[in-house]
Structure 1
């Protein structure tokens, strides 16, 4: 049989699909230094591994079928560092990657495969929202049955890159993701600038509506902002390197970089003895965890606490660290929200947690209460009680008040390690003297010193160890080896390194 006609048609249809929105639109993007949807996939996955599904899909409307290659969303499977992933890359050159009946079905198919086969799901976002006139009218917006379209059960990691104007589904999938990276200059919001401007009857600045500063510093939805598409895609690859492919396996183990932990003596140089002096905890973390393995999430949000993925002896851990460089390490509502989302991530994907503690308590004040401080603190405690992966707590310099419990004290961690410099107390003894006795150190220095000594009794690392509130007291230099050994003991061997996932339905945004 002669199949030349079929071969020619297949080749023509393939060329049309791969041409996306055409040479002019692709060249415009190239001139702006922005990758197109297929180039983004090529940068993300291992060379030659992408298998496209739904390549020949088009709009359901006959009059635009010839100008909707792949119906504006490119979907399929590839490998990152040899592991299978599922990918959806929005093609903005085709009708602004607007959502339609056909391409929504494509996305749903890939999500279903990713969930059932244990593949991480990556969304490369850039879209205008729902496609009109397709969704206009009751039939367009109200028809169908998609009750689980936006359900998260955290069977596999979800990652979203905000790489342009992202409205509608692109913004929804960013809010649902475990990790969100955003290119500076991109925008994500519920609705477009044009529609929002009409709704509020005034011009709206795109950056104020949904720019990277808003989402990294105010909403906390974005974990990392970068300058280019390439940096964003590299960040996706790096994030996934710390995580398992699905919730029923432990995280991958990496080679330990040469020189890891060899500068531990410098911890004593960096840690001030005086409680009132600040320092950047990141410098200390770099001396404890595998060299160059710290991958910080939400560094511009809730800055008094650092949340980071890292490795110890090649094994992934989640680090929650007080950072006295900001607000003296006092925990505000934003920091609470940041930590809770991190606890959910780590517990969902079998990542042990290490708390590095040097905090003076919760930041009190009217603004904090207006932001729901009480509820945020209790959300954290509720999440702590549901965490089923190992929890280790290292008290570095001080830990005070209710936050002692939030940071792993009072039985909220499997092991509490105190540096010999640690202090555990209900509050700063100086504040206690002022509140209980009303003594001013300027007017009654001798009396103040006497009362301060009294309020400071029984607060040392050894006092905590005496009542078994601290299980170990160590030289800070020995922290790395202590944590490695403890994790060997606690790393869920009986269940193959897999936790119970009690927070698998915890809201991704709240």
Structure 2
């Protein structure tokens, strides 16, 4: 063949691969207002940075060669806001983006490059699950065993997943393994489709009930944020990655400090109620402290009595774990325990200093919590915090009771303990203590009850903790921002240049 003929054949093959599942399937998606795989890539990446890997990959089965451009998964490299990333985007128009021998080799290669080169891995999921011809019989079982490390996470670099349609099989597995997951409302994620599940259990199954966004943002906690469109999902991914380093051996990126940051410090005293039992939304206090418009909350619909969020202080990333009295009066349930622990792991893995904002009456006790394994989850959290090597700062705002005092960074579980004058330290609420120790209720003998409560409350103030040097500083709440900035400046110094030891790098991503 001549050069001309060779290049003509090349162009023909290239256009077929770029054509994905064909004009009819692409037009149908467009009518539904849903992006196709290559449109998602264009929206994700900085213009002109896309380098594809595996354009001419197809199914290993001869009868499917012509029907499987890119074998249903588009992979490659690009830049997001100027930073390198690797990605795999499922193309649902090609055999439902089902997982097969070839496209799993693509996935393996992208994971390897991301880990070795130190760049984030982005996975945009939409898949029917495993491709039956490739997975059936002994040959299918043998194919599955080709990579013993397929599901190993050592957090060399961040993994991010988006659920953008029906997600079964590998889309589900890799979402559960990711550091961050966003879901478009209307998408589903489950072990198997509602049809397969319905057949297996011999009863009708609603896809939304099986694996919809409410289930995964409110009940399982496997999804961090739910959004309405593909564009919003990709925007959230870009925002999330802005807080993280490209890999575990570098500090997170720094940004200019927005104008007006710190100007709302005076509002803290208006937001924090004078009564220690009055509720408020701790997120409003956090916003007064961190850089303006930098608060980025993870899992806001799950374990609501604790807020886990990224933010910036003086342009630098921090992770925040804060009790939120607006929900369950701040008491910590099992969902909040799981949420806090996984966030500790993520921050330590990617060199993000932690700030605890404390106002909690203890763990939520009761039969439901015990059935959900509360003691184990409390100890998982304690174990994790003892392994964290990034700087840990504690700001005790009001109540700090019981065992949760340790979980929220007390008792040498942090590097610096900062107290507000309103802080109160005890094993339990003094009023509850009167009932337990003396069997007296306030309505039975108000005067005696008050006397005993005051006796129990004696020695619970911030000044008492500071006297034992268990609290390193007592500050005006309005000074919290500059004190944290200066303290973190000190703790970021040193030979490690802001990089931790990563003792939690293989902690489970979901449990």
Is the structural similarity TM-score above 0.5?
yes
Find the aligned partners of 2:465 and 2:141 in 1 and give their Cα distance.
61
Asked if structure 2 preserves the Cα contact closer than 8 Å seen for 1:216 and 1:224, the reply is: yes
Asked if structure 2 preserves the Cα contact closer than 8 Å seen for 1:492 and 1:498, the reply is: no
Find the aligned partners of 1:467 and 1:178 in 2 and give their Cα distance.
39
Show the counterpart of 2:137.
137
| Cα deviations by residue, 1:384-407 (Å, 9 ceiling, x for unpaired) | 000000000000111001011111
Show the counterpart of 1:177.
178
Find the aligned partners of 2:68 and 2:171 in 1 and give their Cα distance.
19
For residues 18-417 of structure 1, the aligned pairs below 5 Å read 18-143=18-143, 144-417=145-418
Q: Secondary structure at the match of 1:357?
A: strand
Q: CA deviation at 1:408?
A: 0.8
| Cα deviations by residue, 1:134-161 (Å, 9 ceiling, x for unpaired) | 2111111233421000100000000000
Q: CA deviation at 1:2?
A: 4.3
Q: CA deviation at 1:330?
A: 0.2
Asked if structure 2 preserves the Cα contact closer than 8 Å seen for 1:492 and 1:499, the reply is: no
Find the aligned partners of 1:443 and 1:476 in 2 and give their Cα distance.
38
Q: CA deviation at 1:494?
A: 1.7
Tell me the TM-score normalised to structure 2 length: 0.99
Find the aligned partners of 2:228 and 2:136 in 1 and give their Cα distance.
37
Show the counterpart of 2:483.
482
Asked if structure 2 preserves the Cα contact closer than 8 Å seen for 1:330 and 1:362, the reply is: yes
Find the aligned partners of 1:287 and 1:225 in 2 and give their Cα distance.
26
Q: CA deviation at 1:108?
A: 0.7
Answer yes or no: is 1:12 the counterpart of 2:12. Answer: yes
Find the aligned partners of 1:129 and 1:361 in 2 and give their Cα distance.
43
Q: CA deviation at 1:493?
A: 2.6
Find the aligned partners of 1:443 and 1:376 in 2 and give their Cα distance.
38
Q: CA deviation at 1:283?
A: 0.6
| Cα deviations by residue, 1:301-333 (Å, 9 ceiling, x for unpaired) | 000000001000000000000000000000011
Find the aligned partners of 1:492 and 1:360 in 2 and give their Cα distance.
35
Find the aligned partners of 1:398 and 1:260 in 2 and give their Cα distance.
27
Q: Secondary structure at the match of 1:133?
A: helix
Find the aligned partners of 2:90 and 2:133 in 1 and give their Cα distance.
19
Find the aligned partners of 1:132 and 1:17 in 2 and give their Cα distance.
22
Find the aligned partners of 1:151 and 1:449 in 2 and give their Cα distance.
57
Q: Secondary structure at the match of 1:115?
A: helix
Aligned residues between the structures: 510
Q: Secondary structure at the match of 2:505?
A: coil
| Cα deviations by residue, 1:421-475 (Å, 9 ceiling, x for unpaired) | 1111111000001110111211211111111110111111111111111100000
Find the aligned partners of 2:68 and 2:446 in 1 and give their Cα distance.
80
Change in CA separation of 1:492 and 1:372 when aligned onto 2, cut-off 3 Å: farther
Find the aligned partners of 1:325 and 1:82 in 2 and give their Cα distance.
39
Show the counterpart of 2:451.
450
Q: CA deviation at 1:492?
A: 4.9
CA RMSD of aligned residues (A): 0.9
Asked if structure 2 preserves the Cα contact closer than 8 Å seen for 1:99 and 1:169, the reply is: yes
| Cα deviations by residue, 1:93-150 (Å, 9 ceiling, x for unpaired) | 0000001111111111111111110010000000011112121111112334210001
Find the aligned partners of 1:157 and 1:229 in 2 and give their Cα distance.
21
Find the aligned partners of 2:281 and 2:420 in 1 and give their Cα distance.
17
Q: CA deviation at 1:64?
A: 1.5
Tell me the TM-score normalised to structure 1 length: 0.99
